[in-house]
Amino acid sequence: MSKLADAIRRSQRVEAAPMGFGAARPTQKATMLIGYLSNGSTNVDKACEAGADFVLAKSTAKEVTAAEAEALSAGATGAPAGIWGSVGAATADLQKSGLDFLVIDPEKTPAAALLNEELGYVLVLPDEPGELFLRSLEPLSLDAVYLNTIPSPFTVAKQIDLTRIASLARKPIVCSVKADIGKDDLQCLRAAGVALLLVEGDPLGVKRLKETVLSLPARRQRRDERPVVSLPRGQVPTENDDDDGDD
């Protein structure tokens, strides 16, 4: 499992409310991961200092190299680091160089590239993914899917479309947003299935966006995720076959 996949699971986990008058409330955690999208490894270290949960670099080479992976990993200082670019079938060297995940184009990436179970994969969706295409993604070992554009203005109809993508693909959605995006828009994106946000440009935008995410209300637990409480049934007394009466 990639570090990115593990971070997604932790962010999506709904914490149960503490019980009892003296129970302390857990520290508030971000319900969406904030990443930084860079050209090469530029400003990656500054983004991590600003609190980036993961970093993604667009490759500047014809094919992603181990040297790029190593430079990115060094700047990420332990945060999950990924590269977006063309890759070959052999990805072991990239993983050994510190790369955690790859962002891949389904039309250009060899299928054999997905055989490396140590790496995570984020698949770039087409502009208008069809239902059959989205349903076909479920068997693939993908950490998330990347949506190129977010509808603007974000109407109810557009939110339904986004929810359809998340529901059919059954994968978390990654998208790029502006650092000054409003709290209400973020809440709507989260409800539609967006779990990871990317900031470009100024790495300090990571800090600003993270503060907005932390201000969001707690995620509501879905009806099918709510725990079912069952009370233990009383033990039914068994008949004593030997007690036929006093002889």
pLDDT value of residue 154: 85
CA distance 87 to 212: 35
pLDDT value of residue 219: 73
Residues 198, 175: contact at Cβ < 8 Å?
yes
pLDDT value of residue 224: 47
Which CA distances in Å does 207 have to 35, 52, 76? Answer: 10, 8, 16
Q: What is the pTM assigned to this prediction?
A: 0.82
Domains, the chain, with CATH or none: 29-216 (3.20.20.70)
- Three-class DSSP category at 103: strand
DSSP for 110-143 reads -GGGGG-TTSEEEEEPPSS--HHHHHTTTTS--S
pLDDT value of residue 242: 54
Residues 119, 2: contact at Cβ < 8 Å?
yes
* Nearest Cα residue to 36 out of 148, 201, 187, 189: 201
pLDDT digits (tens), the chain, 247 positions: 899 999 999 988 765 555 555 444 555 678 999 999 998 888 999 999 999 999 999 998 889 999 999 999 998 988 999 999 999 888 999 999 999 999 999 999 999 999 998 999 999 999 889 999 999 999 999 999 999 888 778 899 999 999 999 999 999 999 999 999 999 999 999 999 999 999 999 999 999 999 999 999 887 665 544 444 444 555 545 555 555 555 4
